[in-house]
Chain A
Amino acid sequence: MSDYAIETSRICKEYPFFSLENVSLNVPEGQIMGLIGPNGAGKSTTIRILLGLVHQDSGDVRVLGRRMPAEQVAAKWDIGFASEDMRLYEGMTLDWHIGFIRSIYPAWDAKYAQLLLKRFGLKAEQKIKGFSHGQRVKATLLLVLARRPKLLILDEPTTGLDPVARHEILRELTGVMADEGRSILFSSHHTQDVEQISDRITFIDRGRVIDSMDKEIYLDRWRRLRLEVPAGVELPALPGIIGVRQEGRVAVATANAFVPDLPSAYENTGVRVQRVESMTLEEIFVANVEHSREREEACEAL
């Protein structure tokens, strides 16, 4: 058995207007990975490949040690999958869905399910069509959480939820981490959530992985430097700087490979470093996407 919940190597998948190229990401057992990226970046496609619902054109995928898509049935016994575009049967009650899941999966924590019903404020006897959007999302997650699967793969689990509901979901997701044998991979637009609970972050844009690493290390590599450029001094191009915006004597440099002596490197060239700020994941997200797009356009222009 491998020590990785998810191991992928250079996944490629081609569609008429979009393709995944060499997507590689690894989730060690017991960790939470947050998958972020703009709409259409390939997060959902990647997730579906992890579940064996879409066959990759090339590349290896192992989930819980099983090769996908060949062993998808075996893998899915231990995976809990919920996706934003997944719907339950409108005409049936939540109780019916619980019964249906229980008829297939032997492991079901009834006590935990009861607790979740209470925490999420859901009525099991109610038909799904009577649920609000937030309640449906929570119902879908309940069906997945109460099975206590070894691996949770969630595509946008908190999208469209109000802050209270999001908090409830995050509480359950972090609760999963009490068991060091369980892992989570989730994609989200809420960079705050990803920043808060992920151990690792993978950043996807336009079908490619831009970054994939330990969250703390990642956040440490990004800094915003507020600079003062005296007259007659030229802003040097330093390594580790992803982009600079200058207006008159004031400039802002964004570093994506920050090292402690970077500010002094600037000072040595005569540029004054007024402040060094850390960046939120959201700011990193935007900077990353903008930079990667600029670079792509520059390459195409050549």
Chain B
Amino acid sequence: MYTEMDEAFTISQSDKRAMYLQIMEQIKQRIAVGDWTEGQAIPSIRQLAVDLQVSVITVKRAYLELEREGVIVTQQGKGSHVASKPGLGAQLREQELEQHLQQAARIAALLGLRPEELEERLRDAGDRLNGTEAEKETV
């Protein structure tokens, strides 16, 4: 049994990225957050296509890519499930962080920032986050 599709899973037409990428990202997010755990069964390709109202081929592509990345496993006749890799959720979180960091590095280069300046900015951002966290706790 897999968890029911709730409204949080949506494909946006205005999102410039391809539909299959959106699907992949949302599945990874589910796993990263812990909603979907390692080894857990996930909707079949057809079922997800029906739920999301997108073509089967788009979901198939998303699943194929996810399988290639080792995130999910699809077995003939048995459906699909999250890869039984311990720490998968954390690993996906790592990948997300890595992507953001590379993005930050690229933009910093465009702005002409030196590595130390970028580091400083990162620390500031972290402090700001901790500050708001602290505020939340005191309230």
Contact = CB atoms under 8 A, between A and B. Distances in A.
B3 interface: no
Nearest to A175: B50
A196 interface: yes
Contact of A196 (B16, B19, B50): B19
Contacts of A178: 46-47, 50
B18 A278 contact: yes
Q: Is the interface of B mostly helix, strand, loop or mixed?
A: helix
B13 A192 contact: yes
A216 B58 contact: yes
Interface in B27-74: 46-47, 49-50, 53-58, 61
Interface string A145-174: 000000000000000000000000011001
B55 A219 contact: no
Interface residues of A, number: 22
Contact of B57 (A174, A199, A277): A199
A197 to B, nearest CB: 5
B46 A180 contact: yes
A196 B13 CA distance: 8
Interface in B1-32: 11, 13, 16-20
B59 to A, nearest CB: 10
Nearest to A30: B56
Interface string A216-235: 10010000000000000000
A219 B18 contact: yes
Interface residues of B, number: 18
A175 to B, nearest CB: 6
A197 B50 contact: no
Contacts of A43: none
Contact of B53 (A196, A200, A278): A196
A214 B13 CA distance: 19
A187 interface: no
Contacts of B19: 196
A128 B18 CA distance: 41
A170 B53 CA distance: 7
Nearest to A196: B54
B57 A197 contact: no
A31 interface: yes
A288 interface: no
Given A177-B46, A196-B19, A31 B53 contact: no
A175 B56 CA distance: 11
A175 B53 CA distance: 8
Report the 3 A-B pairs with minimum CB-CB distance, sorted nearest first: A199-B57, A174-B53, A199-B55
